[in-house]
Amino acid sequence: MTKNTGNQDRQPSVLDNFKPLLIDVAVPLGSYYLFKDAFGMSTFAALAWSSVVPAVRTVWALVKERATNALAGLILVVNVVSLLLSFVSGDPRLMLAKDSAVSSTVAIGILVSVRLGKPMMTAGMKPFVVKGDAAKEAAWQRLMSGSAAGSAAFRSRERAFSVVWGVALLTECLVRVVGAYTVPVDTMVWLGSVIMIAAMAVGFVVSGGLAVGPMEQMLAAEVEAGRAQRPTVAVAA
């Protein structure tokens, strides 16, 4: 009889794949609303306390791992920008325009991460593509490491995903700033949310067709290729 021998190392679970999003994004955002709404803290205090986890994560990565934690770093920068903007008051149009500063900060961070060769949005996209499947996780690692035939195309789509979101958020920011100074204030109050939702919808559709869909196809092909190349050893009956 024959027995397939694969990688016996533990493969990341669904929780492992979602852990960066949970710790670096969900915890800071959730704690902000907890401090502000449940504990009645001011916006400034809630932002400051919700920055503790991303600040610790960023410093730990720099000191201990000699690397940058992109997601934690971005959330920290966004919180700092929000803290500074909390002092802005007065002109209602300026108040509307300041909301775009957060979008622009995220957008610029995403685009810079692509330029540095470490697309920031990958951490958010990967769990939905791999879905905690061990074979897909292994195929993902091969494609990202360059050891698979389709690695170059896969990495190109990975970068495209972040570029789409960076451009979408930056465009949303510019449109809202222009609207803040050209559209009546009462209209812009609700129109700003519509613009943000529209930008998100465009981001999902374009990134899905340009990156996620092709990446899922390449990942499936690499899984099949890995199975075909898996060695077999004879085992005495």
Domain ranges of the chain: 2-234
User: Where are the extended beta strands (E) located within the chain?
Assistant: 2-4, 232-234
Average pLDDT of the residues in 194-200: 90
pLDDT band at 12 (very low <50, low <70, confident <90, very high): low
- Classify 49 as helix, strand or coil: helix
State the Cα–Cα distance between residues 172 and 192, nearest whole angstrom: 9
CA–CA dist 25, 19 (Å, integer): 10
Flag whether pLDDT at 2 surpasses 50: no
Q: Assess whether pLDDT exceeds 90 at residue 222.
A: yes
Percent of the chain at pLDDT above 90? 30
Distance CA(192)–CA(180), nearest Å, equals 8
Q: Which of 80-89, 107-116, 126-135, 159-168 holds the top average pLDDT?
A: 159-168
Is the pLDDT score of 202 beyond 90? yes
Residues 6+ apart with CB under 8 A from 119: 110, 113, 158, 159, 161, 162
Sequence-distant (6+) residues with CB within 8 A of 188 are 96, 176, 179, 180
Q: Are the C-beta atoms of residues 32 and 52 closer than 8 Å to each other?
A: no
Res 218: pLDDT: 95
Q: Collapsing DSSP states into helix, strand and coil, what is residue 233?
A: strand
> Is 85 in contact with 98 (CB distance < 8 Å)?
yes
Predicted pLDDT of residue 143: 94
Query: pTM score, two decimals?
Result: 0.73
